[in-house]
């Protein structure tokens, strides 16, 4: 085993448990009973905490190796304290076993030689800049990608560590996938616990969690393609499961509302266009309004609790990052931009970039092609025929066929079971939630109909949700469902491992990748060109200058 691989593997698990340590401390500070939360939830709460800290700390200091090492070290100590405080609990050993098995299985996905095109363009450059500098105004003028920061860059910047340097910037995507997998497995059948509860009733959320687990691990198996998009879409599956669970089972609302706020804020922190998902608060607010039958009490529930403070804080920090980079609160939405600052992007440029994003997502342009009349092309539905020909039959149709294959497997397995005698009643709030999902799909199709821009999750959920209610008509006990889910989860895991192994073999052949000798992904001097430009501009303007323009 090479030193590189050993460092890579060791840091992977040290950072992992450190995140859980911060999650447990945050929940203790909030006086939340950690026994109510599995390690997946604690992990995502830890990620939320570290993202907030990363945004705040980078206002004042760069995320240097020593700074990051201390942050990870204290998180590791917090994890040990968490183990000490919970060692007497009967299910801790099983939870830890599931935790480490999942992340051990996911480790293969981190053995990457070549990242996607956006990684050298701005993902790496932005993250690396956070490790070299504190807050800089106007860096959006140096690179188009710097105009759309993401919380995943801020989280990754904390993984700039001694010996590993900048080679751990893909870790965040795996951690989000892994923690989400733990939550989904607990939602499916509470893996490693309660196997003998044959009388436990299987409901809609069990099926939706199983479908979601299969989907994200088969379709999102390539970590190098996750970028800032797929992590958010993974969390969207969790968000809808929690919301439907709340509406269908009113006993969970107090616990769920805290974590729902964490999930929602994480999602919009990853990509600005997910602010659209604020529409989900309409049925959620109406649900609590009808339950409490008191507008004042409902408003206090949403806006005066600690979780609303933390969510608001992160949202404000996100808006600040956009503002200092571009002069806009949400780039490239032109009406949120202020043109009178020295570092501001001109409004005309903002509008042109917004049109470019729309043109690209509507299949009007790619690195080798652009339609002759882009301004006319994106108006109305002029783009639809070309989009169908060049994108739908190229990517969307294959994607839908994959979804149909998953549904067909489920139908073959479950069709011989008897249907329940009582009629299935769907809560009206669940119907409202599905209606909001349809509205989000319409907005996606009309404005940015590319799968990476939220299309994966919205299309899959539009199909999975009614199919899950259909599956809930069949009469399965816990033992029967558990056997089916174990087989499907194991099969999904094998597919995930096989596809990643096949990818690595190809990278060995094409790029001469050596995963056990030169474990880290490829880096060249072009990755640092933006940072060199920033350093040169700062030297020209004086050592105390913090504005790039």
Closest CA to 173 of 255, 247, 241, 232: 232
Token code pair at residue 40:
């997946």
- pLDDT tens-digit series, residues 188-233: 976 555 444 445 678 888 999 999 999 999 999 999 889 888 999 9
CB of 170 within 8 A of CB of 521?
Answer: yes
- pLDDT tens-digit series, residues 350-374: 999 999 999 999 988 877 778 888 8
Q: Residue 395 pLDDT more than 70?
A: yes
**Main-chain dihedrals φ then ψ at residue 158, nearest 5 degrees:** -75, -5
d(C-alpha 441, C-alpha 425), whole Å: 25
With 0.85 as the threshold, say if the pTM is over it.
yes
End-to-end CA distance of the chain: 47
Q: Residue 77 pLDDT more than 70?
A: yes
Residues whose CB is less than 8 angstroms from the CB of residue 428 and which lie 6 or more positions away in sequence, other chains included: none
Mean pLDDT of 228-255: 82
d(C-alpha 354, C-alpha 431), whole Å: 33
Token code pair at residue 200:
């436990």
Q: Is 499 helix (H, G, I), strand (E, B) or coil?
A: helix
The whole-angstrom distance between residue 301's C-alpha and the CA centroid of its chain comes to 26
d(C-alpha 490, C-alpha 481), whole Å: 14
Helices (H) and strands (E) in the chain, counts: 22, 2
Higher per-residue confidence, 86 vs 441: 441
Token code pair at residue 135:
């807050």
**Main-chain dihedrals φ then ψ at residue 201, nearest 5 degrees:** -85, 130
- pLDDT tens-digit series, residues 471-496: 888 888 888 888 899 999 999 999 99
Token code pair at residue 267:
């999602």
- pLDDT tens-digit series, residues 434-462: 999 999 999 999 999 999 999 999 999 99
In this structure, is the dihedral angle defined by the CA atoms of residues 21, 110, 166 and 270, taken in order, positive or negative?
Answer: negative
DSSP string, 151-188: HHHHHHHTT-BTTTBTTTTTHHHHHHHHHHHHHHHHHH
Given pLDDT bands bounded at 50, 70 and 90, which one contains residue 134?
very high
Closest CA to 103 of 496, 539, 419: 496
| Helix (H) or strand (E) segment spanning residue 206 | helix 204-219
Cis bond upstream, residue 248 (ω within 30): no
d(C-alpha 547, C-alpha 532), whole Å: 15
Mean pLDDT of 120-149: 92
Cβ atoms < 10 Å from Cβ of 518: 14
Cβ atoms < 10 Å from Cβ of 502: 10
Higher per-residue confidence, 89 vs 157: 157
CB of 370 within 8 A of CB of 364?
Answer: yes
Given pLDDT bands bounded at 50, 70 and 90, which one contains residue 542?
very low
CB of 525 within 8 A of CB of 128?
Answer: no
Residue 161: beta bridge partners? 165
b/e code 200-212 from CB counts within 10 Å (16+ = b) = bebbbbbbbbbbb
Domain boundaries, the chain: 3-541
Residue with tokens 């805290």, as numbered in its chain: 258
């Amino acid at each position: 085993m090479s030193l590189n691989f050993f460092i890579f593997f060791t840091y992977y698990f040290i950072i992992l448990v450190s995140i859980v340590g911060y999650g447990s401390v945050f929940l203790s500070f909030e006086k939340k009973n950690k026994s109510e939360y599995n390690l997946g939830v604690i992990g995502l709460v830890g990620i939320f905490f570290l993202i907030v800290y990363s945004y705040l700390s980078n206002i004042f200091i760069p995320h240097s190796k020593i700074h990051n090492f201390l942050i990870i070290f204290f998180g590791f100590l917090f994890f040990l304290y968490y183990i000490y405080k919970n060692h007497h609990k009967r299910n801790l050993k099983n939870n830890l076993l599931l935790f480490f098995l999942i992340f051990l299985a996911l480790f293969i996905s981190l053995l990457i030689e070549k990242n996607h095109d956006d990684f050298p363009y701005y993902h790496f450059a932005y993250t690396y800049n956070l490790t070299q500098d504190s807050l800089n105004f106007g860096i959006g003028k140096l690179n188009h990608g710097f105009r759309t920061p993401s919380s995943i860059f801020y989280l990754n910047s904390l993984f700039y560590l001694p010996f590993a340097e900048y080679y751990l910037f893909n870790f965040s995507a795996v951690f989000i996938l892994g923690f989400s997998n733990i939550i989904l497995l607990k939602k499916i059948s509470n893996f490693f616990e309660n196997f003998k509860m044959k009388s436990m009733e299987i409901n809609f959320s069990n099926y939706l969690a199983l479908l979601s687990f299969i989907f994200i691990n088969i379709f999102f198996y390539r970590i190098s393609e996750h970028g800032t998009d797929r992590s958010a879409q993974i969390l969207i599956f969790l968000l809808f499961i929690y919301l439907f669970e709340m509406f269908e089972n009113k006993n969970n609302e107090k616990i769920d509302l805290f974590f729902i706020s964490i999930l929602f804020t994480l999602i919009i922190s990853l990509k600005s266009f997910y602010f659209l998902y604020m529409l989900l608060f309409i049925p959620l607010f109406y649900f609590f309004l009808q339950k409490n039958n008191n507008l004042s009490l409902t408003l206090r529930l949403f806006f005066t609790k600690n979780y609303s403070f933390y969510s608001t804080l992160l949202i404000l920090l996100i808006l600040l990052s956009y503002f200092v980079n571009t002069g806009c609160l949400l780039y490239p939405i032109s009406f949120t931009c202020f043109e009178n600052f020295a570092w501001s992007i001109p409004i005309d440029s903002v509008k042109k970039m917004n049109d470019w994003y729309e043109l690209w997502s509507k299949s009007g342009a790619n690195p080798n092609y652009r339609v002759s009349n882009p301004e006319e092309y994106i108006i109305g539905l002029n783009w639809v025929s070309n989009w169908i020909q060049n994108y739908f039959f190229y990517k969307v149709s294959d994607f839908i066929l994959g979804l149909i294959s998953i549904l067909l497997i489920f139908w073959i397995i479950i069709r011989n079971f008897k249907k329940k005698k009582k009629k299935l009643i769907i809560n009206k709030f669940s119907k409202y939630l599905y209606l909001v999902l349809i509205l989000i799909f319409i907005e996606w199709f009309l404005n940015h109909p590319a799968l990476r821009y939220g299309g994966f999750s919205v299309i899959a959920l539009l199909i999975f949700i009614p199919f899950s209610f259909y599956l809930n008509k069949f009469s399965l006990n816990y033992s029967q469902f558990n056997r089916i889910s174990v087989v499907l989860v194991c099969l999904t895991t094998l597919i995930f491992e096989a596809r990643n192994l096949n990818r690595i073999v190809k990278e060995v052949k094409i790029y001469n990748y050596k995963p056990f000798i030169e474990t880290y992904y490829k880096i060249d001097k072009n990755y640092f060109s933006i940072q060199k430009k920033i350093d040169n501009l700062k030297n020209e303007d004086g050592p105390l200058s913090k504005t790039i323009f």
